[in-house]
């Protein structure tokens, strides 16, 4: 009796030891499930419509399968054909194993397979030679997976990794590429074809071997009919359906947006639901392509829903074939031109320095070493703020920024999430050039700022994901100042051929501003309504100039075309007369330069000449006049006359020495330069 008890204890201990060893091995050598979740990143729009997808290793399409998006008939028929006891076994089907052994003994070769769906998944995750040892490992791995995952999860992984020929893996990619359908839209014939394909993916590819594909499909259809999944009529109709040899391409829309967002994806959540709207995105891409057909330049644009700050349309480039077509120009800093002027005046309104009806002097004005000029180099004297902004006059904007303060203005813009890229070497005086585009900003930065105008002065970051939590806002300006700026910009002169919104019904009341960078390198148009904010950039990514192409000519027409294709017109807006400024704000400021400025020769210059007198080439004087009246030049008090033919003032020095060069304006103001003239000989030596 004692001997029997001792033997029993040994068996129990041995069994427990064996089970413990199995558990330890199971933990120490887990199945490689991390590979199972390596799938293609998928970018969809706010409604779930595909925009873009990205391959995994070796350029394979492997898109995550979800049972909720797959036809229930496909699932049931797949299990009936491949693994009918799938829901009853634990990774290994003993009945199928016994049947396979018997058939092997009877026929001398493998006739009936015993691999379950779980074992097939193992084979895909860990490819091995088809040997008995490999089969044993697959069996163990299948049990391990069944211990860790539910049947639903296993089925989804199987349908994600199943090979369908070429670089196609998974039911989702196969349905899209072979049939241009989702897995819940398949016909009986297509279901049968996709069930038969994984058994010999390359030999049964419909695009290369349509006869084999049809033959094996019909065999599967016959089995499905025999098991009662389809009727005789459905069988006949399915067999009559032709095999399609076409392969469809997966969507490749908003590819630069996808490149921006794809790094957000994780192995467990490879699908990214962007904030884009496919209808708006398609419209924007079409307009961008049409707009750039006849010239070698590129465009970038962004469309924002003001209420949510969600990006509904994003065009980083008009096409890969355009200059710099692979670059997302919405995220590259460029000179914003005059697009920041509305915010400068809004700050002046907030500070109580001016009002839309305040007068400001538009005349040549110097700020330390910096002297801005109007774009057309014409000046209009005393103008009101709304006129200066509506006609984008440069000098009044710099006057306003000088009063607001460059550091404060730049800091406020940065606090919104928009980044002002400015060289560290810029001093406070040169920083006034920020009013005219003397810094770098992106299309996305400008969108944040103009959406703040539409939202009553509240600035928020852009939202790129549909389910993203809204960001907190930053008060860039008061609601009253935003309203005043909006009124001015709504009544700005419209582009040629465009009717002002207050003269039409059911049209977008667009408040907009254009901008042109130095040298015609960047053309901008930024506009907004109550519903939308749109920013358009036009130019060449390499910075090459496009002479004569201003924001008003090159970018504003596209801005208005985009608005014309958007919904949400809103209520009609009437023309509003802007009131005069209150008594204390009648005059904003500005001090004109009342004396001429010598451009050449500069004060203190030392000038070498090869020959004196009329035999030499002479020195051509140049100066800037505070008025449009001509200037009179003098050298040591003696007048120098203009030449009759060239209308230039040229002086021929008679010898070495120091000279006083003076220029006198009509109002009597004068400026002087003291220079030295020396002889320059052929041997590169100076004569004193």
Task: Give residue 10's pLDDT band: very low, low, confident or very high (50, 70, 90).
Answer: low
Out of 82, 138, 169, 444, the active site residue is: 82
Which of 438, 414, 450 has the alpha carbon at shortest distance from 536? 450
pLDDT category, 364, cuts 50, 70, 90? confident
The answer to whether residues 503 and 623 belong to one domain is: no
Query: What's the rounded mean pLDDT across residues 675-688?
Result: 66
d(CA 248, CA 176): 7
Q: Do 505 and 653 share a domain, yes or no?
A: no
Shared-domain flag, residues 364 and 472 = yes
- Residue listed under structure tokens 């389809």: 230
Catalytic residue among 40, 275, 338, 507: 338
One DSSP character per residue, 584-614 reads GGSEEE-----S-EEEESPTT-EEEESS-GG
Domain finish residue from 240, 275, 295: 240
Residues 41 and 177 in one domain: yes
CA–CA dist 272, 264 (Å, integer) = 8
Lowest mean pLDDT among 3-12, 410-419, 449-458, 594-603: 3-12
Which of 223, 240, 257 is where one domain is finished? 240
- State pLDDT tens for residues 15-74: 455 445 556 656 656 787 888 899 999 999 999 999 999 999 889 999 999 999 999 999
* Same domain, residue pair 475 and 487: yes
Considering the domain boundaries, does residue 308 fall inside one?
no
> Token pair of 25, please?
């091995």
Task: Tally the domains of the chain.
Answer: 4
In a domain, 5, yes or no: yes
Domain of residue 619, CATH code: 2.60.40
Q: 138-142, 513-517, 682-686: lowest mean pLDDT where?
A: 682-686
Report residue 675's pLDDT band, with 50, 70 and 90 as the boundaries: very high
326 — alpha (psi -120 to 50), left (phi > 0) or beta?
A: alpha
Predicted confidence (pLDDT) at residue 7 exceeds the cutoff of 80: no
Q: What are the residues facing 4 on neighbouring strands? A: none
The CATH number given to whatever domain includes residue 204 is 1.10.3810.10
Residue 332 lies in a domain: no
Q: How many helices (H) and strands (E) does the chain have?
A: 21, 25
DSSP annotation of 470: P
Domain of 362, CATH number, reads: 3.40.710.10
User: Do the domain assignments include residue 83?
Assistant: yes
| 529 plus 674 within the same structural domain | no
Q: What does the CA dihedral 311, 313, 317, 321 come to, rounded to 10 degrees?
A: 150
Triad 458, 461, 467: Cα angle to 5° = 115
What is 37-82 written as a DSSP string? T----EEE-TTS-EEEE---GGG-EEPPP-GGGS-HHHHHHHHHHH
Q: Is 405 part of a structural domain of the chain? A: yes
Mean predicted lDDT score pLDDT of the chain? 87
pLDDT tens by residue, 564-580: 999 876 666 666 778 77
Highest mean pLDDT: which of 275-284, 291-300, 429-438, 489-498? 275-284
Residues 163 and 227 in one domain: yes
Whether 24 and 37 share a structural domain: no
> Domain boundary residue among 589, 621, 647?
589
Domain span including residue 129: 31-240
In this structure, the number of other CB atoms found within 10 A of the CB of residue 238 comes to: 22
**pLDDT at position 192 over 50:** yes
Residue 418 confidence (pLDDT): 94
pLDDT of residue 428: 42
What's the mean pLDDT in 135-158? 89
In this prediction, residue 685 carries a pLDDT of 44
Position 303 pLDDT exceeds 60 = yes
- 620-660 pLDDT, tens digit per residue, is 888 877 666 788 999 999 998 888 777 888 899 988 999 99
Question: Are 401 and 523 found together in one domain?
Answer: yes
State the pLDDT at residue 374.
Answer: 85
Structural element, H or E, at residue 360? strand 359-362
15 and 112 together in one domain:
no
CA distance 89 to 83: 10
The pLDDT tens digits of the residues spanning 444-456 come to: 999 999 999 999 9
Statement to judge: residues 365 and 456 lie in one domain: yes
In a domain, 262, yes or no: no
Tell whether the model's pLDDT for residue 503 goes beyond 70: no
Question: Does 536 lie in the same domain as 487?
Answer: yes
Question: Over the stretch 308-360, which tens digit does the pLDDT of each residue have?
Answer: 999 999 999 999 999 999 999 999 999 999 999 999 999 999 999 999 999 99
| Per-residue model confidence as pLDDT tens digits over 221-265 | 999 999 999 999 999 999 999 999 999 999 999 999 999 998 888
Does 311 map to a domain? no
Tell me, yes or no, whether 269 lies in a domain.
Answer: no
DSSP designation for 310: E
Q: Check if 82 is active-site.
A: yes
Contact by Cβ (8 Å): 364, 310: no
**Digit-coded pLDDT (tens) for 512-548:** 999 999 999 999 999 999 999 999 999 999 999 999 8
- Within a 10 A sphere around the Cβ of 200, how many other Cβ atoms? 15
């Amino acid at each position: 009796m004692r001997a029997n008890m001792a033997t029993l204890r040994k068996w129990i201990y041995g069994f427990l030891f064996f089970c413990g060893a199995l558990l330890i091995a199971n933990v120490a050598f887990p199945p490689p499930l991390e590979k199972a979740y390596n799938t293609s990143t998928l970018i969809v729009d706010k409604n779930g419509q595909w925009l873009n997808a990205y391959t995994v290793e070796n350029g394979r399409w492997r898109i995550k399968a979800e049972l909720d998006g797959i036809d229930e008939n496909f699932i049931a028929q797949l299990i009936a054909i491949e693994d009918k006891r799938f829901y009853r076994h634990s990774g290994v089907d003993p009945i199928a194993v016994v049947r396979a052994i018997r058939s092997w003994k009877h026929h001398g070769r493998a006739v009936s397979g015993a691999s379950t769906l779980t074992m097939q998944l193992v084979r895909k995750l860990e490819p091995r030679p088809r040997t008995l040892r490999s089969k044993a490992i697959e069996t163990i791995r299948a049990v391990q997976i069944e211990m860790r995952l539910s049947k639903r999860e296993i089925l989804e992984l199987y349908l994600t990794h199943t090979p369908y020929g070429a670089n196609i893996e998974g039911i989702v990619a196969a349905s899209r590429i072979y049939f241009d359908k989702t897995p819940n839209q398949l016909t009986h014939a297509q279901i049968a074809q996709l069930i038969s394909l994984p058994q010999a993916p390359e030999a049964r590819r419909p695009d290369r071997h349509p006869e084999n594909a049809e033959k094996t499909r019909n065999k599967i259809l016959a089995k499905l009919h025999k098991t009662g999944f389809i009727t005789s009529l459905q069988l006949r109709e399915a067999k009559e359906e032709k095999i399609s040899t076409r392969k469809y391409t997966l969507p490749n829309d908003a590819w630069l947006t996808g490149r921006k967002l794809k790094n957000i994806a994780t192995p467990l959540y490879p699908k990214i639901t962007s904030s884009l709207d496919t209808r708006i995105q398609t419209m924007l891409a079409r307009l961008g392509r049409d707009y750039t057909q006849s010239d070698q330049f590129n465009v970038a644009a962004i469309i924002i829903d003001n209420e949510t700050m969600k990006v509904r349309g994003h065009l980083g480039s008009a096409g890969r074939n355009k200059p710099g077509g692979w670059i997302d120009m919405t995220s590259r800093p460029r000179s914003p031109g005059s697009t920041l002027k509305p915010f400068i005046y809004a700050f002046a309104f907030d500070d109580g320095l001016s009002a839309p009806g305040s007068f400001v002097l538009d005349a040549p004005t110097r700020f330390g070493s910096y002297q801005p000029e109007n774009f057309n180099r014409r000046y209009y004297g005393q103008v009101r703020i709304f006129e200066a902004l509506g006609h984008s006059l440069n000098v009044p904007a710099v006057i306003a920024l000088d009063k607001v303060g460059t550091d404060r203005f730049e800091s406020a813009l940065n606090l919104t999430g928009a980044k002002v890229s400015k060289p560290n070497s810029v001093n406070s005086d040169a920083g006034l050039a920020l009013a005219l585009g003397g810094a770098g900003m992106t299309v996305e930065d400008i969108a944040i700022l103009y959406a703040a105008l539409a939202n009553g002065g509240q600035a928020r970051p852009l939202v790129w994901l549909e389910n993203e939590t809204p960001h907190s806002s930053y008060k860039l300006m008061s609601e009253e100042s935003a309203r005043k700026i909006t009124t001015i910009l709504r009544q700005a002169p419209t582009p040629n051929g465009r009717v002002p919104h207050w003269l039409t019904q059911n049209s977008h009341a667009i408040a907009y501003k254009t901008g042109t960078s130095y040298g015609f390198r960047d053309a901008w148009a930024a506009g907004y309504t109550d519903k939308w904010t749109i920013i358009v950039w036009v130019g060449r990514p390499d910075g090459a100039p496009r002479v004569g192409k201003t924001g008003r000519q090159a970018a504003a027409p596209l801005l208005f075309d985009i608005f014309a294709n958007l919904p949400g017109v809103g209520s009609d807006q009437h023309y509003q007369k802007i009131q005069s400024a209150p008594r204390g704000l009648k005059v904003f400021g500005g001090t004109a330069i009342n004396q001429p400025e010598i451009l050449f020769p500069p004060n203190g210059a030392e000038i070498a000449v090869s020959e004196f007198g009329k035999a030499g080439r002479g020195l051509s004087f140049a100066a800037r006049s505070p008025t449009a009246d001509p200037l009179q030049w003098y050298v040591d008090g003696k007048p120098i006359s203009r030449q009759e033919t060239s209308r230039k003032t040229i002086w021929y020095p008679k010898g070495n020495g120091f000279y006083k060069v003076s220029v006198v304006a009509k109002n009597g103001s004068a400026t002087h330069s003291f220079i030295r003239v020396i002889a320059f000989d052929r041997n590169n030596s100076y004569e004193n």
